[in-house]
Amino acid sequence: MLVLTLVVAAQIAYLVGLQRQWRRGRPWSFWRLLALLAGTSMVLFAISPPVMLHAHQDLRGHMLQHLLLGMFAPLLLVLAAPVSLLLRTLPTAGARALVAVLRSGPLRLLAHPLTALLLNLGGMYLLYLTPLYAASLGSPALHWLVHWHFLAAGCLFTWAILAGPDPAPHAARAWVRLGVLFVAMAAHATLAKLMYGFGWPRGTHHGLEEIQAAAQLMYYGGDLAEMLLLGLLFARWGRRRGCAGRPTGGPVALPCVSK
């Protein structure tokens, strides 16, 4: 219920910001709105009670949730450019404060592709190759934490790799971002195969066949999401050579921070 409220609140906030932009006669891409609605709907679907129940009983259901929350929804949510909309909508003082937060040391460290990689893939290795997954089945609080971590780490990672459309606190060089994505793809494929081959996560009621089917879903579903992310990265690469070619999404106050 709390989650439903949060997601709907985020949708309403986005729509309010959008309406202000329109009223001031400033354009905002229709596709971004569509991305937000699709992304938030995907989150709501993934955590809806029937899907939750299914995921609790069947690891394939859990894996579908993992793919939606950690990979596909973040793609859509990052493409919706909520930070840019917030920067445009906030009064000047508020926008300045937000920019200061975005450019602060801790956030730049958090948003570095390597940190995002560690949080995203490290979290997955920790979840599936340790008793953490089994523990999460028994503890509702831990269970929620796992799901929110998937979503948050997925968004952070997608944002760090694309370095846009929102101004990224740490816009690493495109080659660095591609390299980190390469490591993430290899690590994701490796983890899925380790689960398939060695029957992780262990200590649960899931049978080996079910785990293998879930690992396959993770492997191929992950491929699809990673190829979409790769496509977006390459599509932005051409448009954005250095800082001169920055997409003009509006008067975004962040100066170029890529070296």
Interaction site with other proteins (CB under 8 A): 178, 181-190, 193-194, 197, 223, 226-227, 230-231, 234-235, 238
State in angstroms the smallest separation of the CB of 103 from other proteins. 30
State the nearest-atom distance from the C-beta of 113 to other proteins, in Å: 15
Q: Which is nearer to other proteins, 57 or 190 (CB)?
A: 190
Strand, coil or helix: what is 101?
A: helix
What is the distance between the alpha carbons of residues 63 and 211, in angstroms, rounded to a whole number? 10
Min separation Cβ 259 and other proteins, Å: 23
Query: Which residue's CB is nearer to other proteins, number 87 or number 185?
Result: 185
For other proteins, give the closer residue by CB, 88 or 236.
236
Say if residues 170 and 257 touch (Cβ distance below 8 Å): yes
DSSP 8-state class, residue 253: -
**Identity of the residue, 98 or 178, whose beta carbon is nearer to other proteins in the bound complex:** 178
CB-wise, 40 or 158, nearer to other proteins?
158
Shortest spacing between CB 255 and other proteins, in angstroms? 29
Q: Are 27 and 181 in contact (CB under 8 A)?
A: no
Q: How far is the CB of 212 from other proteins (least distance, A)?
A: 13
Task: Using alpha carbons, list the distances in angstroms from residue 61 to 14, 18, 67, 139, 186.
Answer: 30, 35, 10, 18, 23
Residue pair 32/81 in contact by the 8 Å Cβ criterion: yes
* Tokens standing for residue 227: 């190829």
Compare residues 42 and 233 and give the one whose CB is closer to other proteins: 233
The answer, yes or no, to whether the previous bond of 165 is cis (omega within 30 of 0) is: yes
Contacts for 21 with CB less than 8 Å, ≥ 6 apart = 27, 28, 85, 88, 89
Residues 6+ away with beta carbon under 8 Å from 41: none
Task: Find the shortest distance in angstroms from Cβ 151 to other proteins.
Answer: 23
Q: Least Å distance between CB 178 and other proteins?
A: 7
Which of 63, 115, 79, 116 is CA-nearest to residue 222? 63
C-alpha span between 186 and 236 (Å, rounded): 22
* Cβ nearer to other proteins, comparing 99 with 195: 195
The tokens for 79 are 């493409």
